[in-house]
Amino acid sequence: MSVWDAIVGQPKVVEELRRVAEGDGRGVAQSWLICGPAGSGTMQVARAFAAALESPDHGEGELPTKITSQILADRFPDVVTLSTDKVTIGIDEVRDLVTLSEQMPSTAPWRIIIIENTERMLERTTNVLLKEIEEPSAHTIWLLCAPSAQDVLPTIRSRTRLVTLGVPVADEIATWLEREVRVLEDPTKRERARAKAVGGRAGAKAARSGKSAKAPKPAPAPEPRPVSHETAVRIARLCEGNLDIARLYARYPSVLRSRDQLVNNVLKMTRASQAVVFAGELYGSAQEQANERAEQAAGERQAEFRKLNGLSPDETVPADLRRAYTALAKKDDIKRHATRMTRDVLDRAFTTIASIYRDVAVFQNDAEGSVGLINIENRDAIAELSAQLTREQTLARMDAISTARRRIAGNGNALLDIEALFCALLPERR
């Protein structure tokens, strides 16, 4: 199984990077800029490329090597990833990476540094990075990820090799979902069952500390099941080329149901009182989803830690590993991740709402036959809305969605911003 098999809809990029990885190393550019729209897979491409460069089999073996598995799981010492929960990437974080880049790799041929959301660097921070990529250490490769080359300063663009990803088409996404993604049980239900089985709070506390609770062994979670063809096709249409959203909808049916409910709510809003209620429901749902995902991510990190250290799921974590184990699920970190994820959930909701008015515009321009609808399930309601609005009113609502998105991204009052948006979406009285 090739490390490139998980890359969706990027055959030219895969071929280019595969040739580089399988070369003798002398022709490898040491600074790369991997660009693509949200959800196109820039980070997946970066990690796959890193694995292909570091692994002895270049990621092409029938079974992944230990190095490949660790890199893809972000657990390999010579491949470092910088991500941030903040609006901007701090200058001290970049300085630390520059210092690290001067060190020789511990076990692998290269020290590879991956920076997610490079566009979040302020100019003075970018200048710190610029000095390093102008004259990089001979053993270091920089992989910078951004939505587009225009989002990065020209000085960085001119000193990196550009890799541009396209938007995967629906057929490719559907095939990938059926092949690679598995449907998981709702994590909230699973955790409730587990907490009950191990004695409520005492069991949950014991699990966080790495100790074994003296309680009945919890029932194993149901085996993940493949995504059905019908569901994969529908999700591929609804995700609008965003692989992250497609994976989320496929793994967690409850998230997809929340999307359906949001579309129905927006389409049936007629009064300000409804707008306020639906806005509150959206904000509450976003917080709940974010908290669940953050807690689940912490659990997955701890599970991976156990796997790497040869510990079974029910085995007591040794004392010398317990601090590292519990640090993977610190309450403050989970809370911070949940805050960021809340913004992500709301941003995804805005994309969903925008798709409604995109479909309205399709009707108003008699373009359904050429471009199709995203929300086919709501065709009648969207057709009715398109008759109620003028083209100018449709564009005004799209502008209102963009404004709400910018305000929340800038740490505005999310609930008030959503309420204002929903009131702006109400049909105008004639």
Measured torsion, CA atoms of residues 267, 272, 275, 280, in degrees rounded to the nearest 10 = -170
Question: DSSP readout, 164-212?
Answer: E--PPPHHHHHHHHHHH-EE---HHHHHHHHHHHTTTHHHHHHHHHTPP
Give the per-residue pLDDT at 35: 97
Give the per-residue pLDDT at 63: 86
Give the per-residue pLDDT at 388: 93
Cβ 141 vs Cβ 169: under 8 Å: no
Residue 317 DSSP code: P
Cβ 52 vs Cβ 42: under 8 Å: no
pLDDT at 211 over 80: no
Lowest-confidence segment of 242-246, 407-411, 422-426 by average pLDDT:
407-411
> Which tokens sit at 367?
């373009």
Q: What angle do CA 273, 278, 284 make, to 5 degrees?
A: 130
Q: Please report, as a single letter, which amino acid is at residue 381.
A: A
SS3 content of the chain, % helix, strand, coil (to 5): 60, 5, 30
Whole-model pTM: value is: 0.81
* Residues 124-132, mean pLDDT to the nearest whole number: 91
Cβ 208 vs Cβ 326: under 8 Å: yes
Residue 109 DSSP code: S
* Residues 11-39, mean pLDDT to the nearest whole number: 90
- Reference 100, options 121, 71, 80; nearest CA is 80
Give the per-residue pLDDT at 410: 80
Cβ 140 vs Cβ 113: under 8 Å: yes
Torsions phi, psi for 282 (to 5 deg): -65, -45
> Which tokens sit at 197?
């089985």
Cβ 263 vs Cβ 413: under 8 Å: no
Give the per-residue pLDDT at 102: 92
Give the per-residue pLDDT at 200: 47
Rounded-to-integer distance, Cα 158 and Cα 180, Å: 36
Domains of the chain: 3-167 (3.40.50.300), 185-223 (no CATH), 253-424 (no CATH)
pLDDT at 315 over 50: yes
* Length of the chain measured in residues: 430
pLDDT at 307 over 70: yes
Q: What is the C-alpha radius of gyration for the chain, rounded to an integer number of angstroms?
A: 23
User: Residue 266 CA to chain centroid, in angstroms?
Assistant: 25
Tens of pLDDT, residues 147-203: 999 999 999 999 999 999 999 999 999 999 999 999 986 555 544 444 444 444 445
The residue whose two tokens read 């009131």 is 423
Give the per-residue pLDDT at 171: 95
Tens of pLDDT, residues 373-408: 999 999 999 999 999 999 999 999 999 999 999 999
Tens of pLDDT, residues 58-94: 999 888 899 999 999 888 999 999 988 777 899 999 9
Tens of pLDDT, residues 213-256: 444 554 555 678 999 999 999 999 999 999 999 999 999 999 99
- Reference 359, options 331, 389, 330; nearest CA is 389
